[in-house]
Amino acid sequence: MSASRPTTVAEIMTRDVVTLRREQTLHDGNELMREHRVRHLPVVDDDGRLVGLLDQKVVLREAMRIAGEFGTQSLNHHLERVALSSLISGDCPRVEADSPLADAGRCLLTQRLGALPVVEGERLVGIVSSVDFVRLAVEGLAAPQN
């Protein structure tokens, strides 16, 4: 972050984003979330275009559905059979990198989202999450008062 107060999404977003492909499975998504300690994973096509967003709520909802139907003993087996393409829709909310932070924050609040993929056109260039906004607030609160 620059010394001046950030004003655009590009200034606080995460650029090195872990992603999934729509042919991957719910099990793959769950494992990547666990490994990278994240709650949201953008789903992209071969050209890096955003096709959706997998979030922890979807993983939990589907795991509960599968456990209820088949039991917990075979949960991983069934998670490996659920293709992301069956869960992901391309119309997920997104934000442009040059969007004002206030607009992105409002979108997170009004739509009760934990993260927004950041795009330039249709190509994924980052992700901005509620954690990024909390970090920004904490830094602002910790800054010396003039």
DSSP result, 36-95:
HT-SEEEEE-TTSBEEEEEEHHHHHHHHHHHHHHH-STTHHHHHTT-BGGGT--TT---E
Position 2 scores a pLDDT of 46
Residue ranges and CATH numbers for the domains of the chain are: 9-142 (3.10.580.10)
Mean confidence (pLDDT) of the chain: 91
Q: Is the pLDDT of residue 133 over 60?
A: yes
pLDDT tens across 53-91, in order? 999 999 999 999 988 888 888 888 888 899 998 888 778
Position 33 scores a pLDDT of 96
